């Protein structure tokens, strides 16, 4: 296959040398690397010694292996991607397991904003897409985020938010919402039963950063005819918590972004 004029074959070969090492071949000889990568021994030697000088490969004189510095290559990728990009593969696996729609949101003002979504079917009258906003007080994701706010921020929210009854089940007084958030904080998840829309139930769990601060939430939404609240807690909560734990684990290994 013809290469573009800009193509740097030596870079391709250098990356091939790094990829030659894996779980089954953590240590390789010069001849091994040459064979796996389709290189001459002389070329393989030059690449290996260059990577050794750069700190990505180490050797005892006969066997070569990857050095911890090679992790920087993966960290560069992880540090360049956003929270939704980290979360989306986990949301896809969660949806495949529970066969219900899942979303991620963050708090923006007094609303939650959807930043990632993996749907199965439309169960709401209002279409949900990335960028959709809902009042935090009436949603499962909003409640787990509100429950994670510092006390002063939560009181400020309760003092200014317009808690309107969206259905006849909606919690819409500051005292009742405050009591609900205490329960959410204690149990580590929130379930909203037809408070945002009739026929819609949802369960959410928080996403915390490496400092333990709640920065977002993930939910699973389900039509009320398909599951009771007890069913949701028994069947959906365990895989939901597993998904949020996996997202948090990925976030923890990503380097911190600079403040600039």
Query: Can you give the pLDDT of all 260 residues of the chain as single tens digits?
Result: 577 888 899 999 999 999 999 878 899 999 999 999 999 999 999 999 999 999 999 999 999 999 988 877 766 655 555 778 888 899 999 999 999 999 999 998 899 989 889 888 655 555 677 888 899 999 999 999 999 999 999 999 999 999 999 999 999 999 999 999 999 999 999 999 999 999 999 999 999 988 889 999 999 999 999 999 999 999 999 999 999 999 998 887 754 543 33
Q: Are 50 and 74 in contact (CB under 8 A)?
A: no
Q: Are 112 and 136 in contact (CB under 8 A)?
A: yes
Radius of gyration of the chain (CA): 25
Residue with tokens 């003092």: 159
pLDDT at 24: 83
- Please tell me the distance from the alpha carbon of residue 195 to that of residue 87, in angstroms, as a whole number: 26
- The encoded tokens of residue 241 equal 């918590």
pLDDT at 71: 77
- The encoded tokens of residue 99 equal 């066969």
pLDDT at 159: 92
Composition of the chain by helix, strand, coil, percent to 5: 45, 20, 35
DSSP 8-state symbol, 129: -
The pTM of this model reads 0.67
pLDDT at 259: 35
pLDDT at 124: 58
Q: How many CB atoms neighbour CB 215 within 10 A?
A: 16
Strands 111-118 and 101-108: antiparallel
Query: CB under 8 Å to 101, separation ≥6 — which residues?
Result: 95, 117, 118, 119, 120, 121, 123, 220, 221, 222
């Amino acid at each position: 296959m013809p290469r573009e004029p800009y193509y740097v074959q030596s870079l391709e070969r250098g990356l091939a040398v790094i990829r030659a090492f894996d779980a089954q071949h953590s240590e390789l000889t010069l001849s091994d690397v040459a064979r796996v990568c389709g290189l001459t021994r002389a070329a393989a030697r030059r690449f290996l010694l260059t990577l050794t000088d750069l700190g990505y490969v180490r050797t005892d004189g006969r066997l070569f292996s990857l050095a911890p510095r090679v992790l920087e290559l993966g960290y560069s990728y992880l540090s360049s991607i956003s929270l939704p990009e980290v979360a989306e593969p986990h949301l896809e696996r969660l949806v495949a397991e529970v066969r219900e729609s899942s979303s991620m949101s963050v708090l923006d003002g007094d609303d939650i904003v959807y930043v990632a979504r993996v749907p199965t079917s439309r169960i709401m009258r209002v279409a949900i897409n990335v960028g959709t906003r809902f009042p935090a007080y009436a949603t499962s994701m909003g409640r787990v985020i509100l429950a994670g706010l510092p006390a002063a921020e939560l009181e400020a929210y309760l003092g200014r938010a317009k808690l309107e009854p969206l259905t006849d089940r909606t919690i819409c007084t500051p005292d009742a919402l405050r009591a609900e958030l205490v329960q959410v904080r204690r149990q580590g998840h929130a379930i909203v039963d037809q408070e945002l829309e009739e026929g819609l139930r949802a369960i959410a769990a928080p996403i915390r950063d490496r400092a333990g601060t709640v920065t977002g939430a993930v939910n699973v939404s389900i039509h009320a005819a398909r599951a009771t609240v007890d069913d949701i807690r028994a069947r959906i909560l365990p895989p939901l918590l597993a998904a949020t734990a996996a997202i948090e684990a990925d976030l923890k290994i990503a380097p911190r972004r600079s403040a600039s």
